[in-house]
Structure 1
């Protein structure tokens, strides 16, 4: 990938500071903060209408043909957020305390107003069951809009997804 090419993505209004990589990093850091603080409406607003949110199971490569932990379109993302906001997810009563570290952010590709990136994410979860550490390799497709980046696709590949997962009832 040519760094000169990728830096030509049009800059959204209001975010003319920093390189493309720095702007992508800041977006991913903000998304992590919204997830950690249970800012569900703000997190949901980051998604495009044609969005896909995918957490594959057992190294699956095709969500249409193989089992997934999560495989949501935009409508289903909205349902998931609504369920979390009701307080009826008993595994989230009280809500988990979360802290994420987003690292190793890389730009993968840039095409027609969209940027593909990947990052490693480490999540600390504390709840009534105890403490859990989650590690993931995330892939993102971000679309440039007038207000900044929007998420078109997010794939969360849990490092230990081949093992039983007791519960995953927060925004991964």
Structure 2
């Protein structure tokens, strides 16, 4: 098997950067972390279902991610009036598979959202499929497995 030249420390720094971009409302920078053929998935009810044939909380391609970012930036995401403040905590980062130009990474997350004086906690596991493009890492696939994805979730109009 061919190994990438990307080590765990570089992957952790990349995941922290992604979280920082979201927390700082740098949505264009966040979007630039994704490949053009990406998928962003938050499963509903079960984590290992087929998103093409089952309901998902979110199952976006690049075009849908661009629309999501556009709504957040223009104020047309009415579910984000006022805008949520978030903090993402990333931990337990592991390389699951190293496939040369592609690395599959697992991490746990805790997201704290503050909106209208109420704090809400979201927690779960992220799976990132990272591709090496030149000297950069890009997200080709991101799956956020919420531990409560079979419960009522309320407003998820911010970036998880």
TM-score normalised by the shorter chain: which range applies? Answer: over 0.9
Please tell me whether the aligned partners of residues 104 and 120 of structure 1 are also in contact (alpha carbons under 8 angstroms): yes
**Runs of 5+ consecutive residues of structure 1 not aligned to the other structure:** 12-19
Q: Does 1:50 align with 2:37?
A: yes
1:27 counterpart residue number: 14
CA RMSD of aligned residues (A): 1.4
Instruction: Provide, for residues 64-113 of structure 1, a one-character-per-residue CA deviation record: whole Å limited to 9, x for no partner.
Output: 11100100111111111111111122221221111110000000001130
Which blocks of at least 5 consecutive residues in structure 2 are unaligned? Answer: none
Runs of 4+ in 1 over 2 A off after TM superposition: none
Q: How many positions carry a matched residue from both structures?
A: 159
After TM superposition, the score normalised by the length of structure 1 is: 0.88
1:135 aligns with 2:123: yes
Work out the CA distance in 2 between the residues paired with 1:31 and 1:150: 11
- CA deviation profile, 1:30-68 (whole Å, cap 9, x unmatched): 000111111010000011011000000001511011100
Indicate whether 1:36 and 2:31 are aligned. no
TM-score, normalising length from structure 2? 0.94
Q: 2:51 aligns with which of 43, 63, 79?
A: 63
